Amino acid sequence: MITFYGVIGDPIEHSLSPAMHNAAFDALGMDCYYGAFHVKGRFLYEAVNGARCLGFGGLNVTVPHKEIIIRFVPADETSHDIGAANTIDFKTNKAYNTDASGAIASLRDNGVSVKGKRVLVLGAGGAARAVTYGLLKNGAAVTIANRTAPKAADLAAYMREYGDVFGTGMDNLKEKVAIADVIINTTTVGLNEGETLVTADMLNEKQVVFDLVYRPVETKLLREAKLAGAKTIDGITMLVRQGALSFEVWTGVKPPLDAMERSARDAV
């Protein structure tokens, strides 16, 4: 019998997750199907319980439900610490967060270890929470720079028990970029073609620039980083890895990353 999986969010129509997960199920010959479901906040509880009652294997949870979901699905340690989850497994009836390890895996698979490195995280929203947690747990010293400085300070205060982290505004960004080994954009800047917070003149060839924005795949930030000779990592790299980790939570099987990545890049 077919086992169903899916992603719930609002909006959801542009999600790349169905293409990615169905490619992995096909490659492994598994009798499973993954869909995208538009779920408004007021129906979140009913949607999750409905999926459980219908025998779904699991769900991904995306914006804007990642924080609220852990109020009624028990959180594992990582999603509890981060304060948000992106994966529900109905076998264990637990919520997990694979964004943090997906970000770390993206760096690792590109030969980047963050242990002892100075990492500048641009942004202090939901993605920054998971990325900062992953970085701190892996021994990085993190500066969070956000347009709304108090949000960066709040996030840093929340994360301080996990490591060396400081929150600040976007002022003097050139100096903040100059002293970073790794720069990670977790803001939405870059979704609009031609926008970037950091330009080539601020970067050098020893740095790593990782942009979580995946639409467009090659953002202006990544083009600027390449001009400066920096190593670049795009948002699809992380999307695929966080998805692969969810797949593993549900099925216990490591999915073929190459098939997932190809389908995500084709779909975008």
| Site for ligand NAP, rule CB under 6 A | 63, 99, 123-128, 146-148, 151, 186-189, 191, 212-214, 235, 238-239, 242
C-beta of 52 vs 267, nearer to ligand NAP: 267
C-beta of 46 vs 192, nearer to ligand NAP: 192
C-beta of 127 vs 140, nearer to ligand NAP: 127
Least distance between ligand NAP and beta carbon 57 (Å): 21
What would the 3-class secondary structure string for 8-60 be? Answer: EECCCCCCCHHHHHHHHHHHHCCCEEEEEEECCHHHHHHHHHHHHHCCCCEEE
Parallel, antiparallel or unpaired: strands 32-38 and 208-211: unpaired
Distance CA 137, CA 114 (A): 10
How does DSSP assign 79-94, residue by residue? HHHHT--SEEETTTTE
Least distance between ligand NAP and beta carbon 1 (Å): 31
Least distance between ligand NAP and beta carbon 101 (Å): 11
Distance CA 24, CA 18 (A): 10
Q: Which positions are catalytic?
A: 66
Q: Residue 169 CA to chain centroid, in angstroms?
A: 22
C-beta of 22 vs 186, nearer to ligand NAP: 186
Least distance between ligand NAP and beta carbon 70 (Å): 15
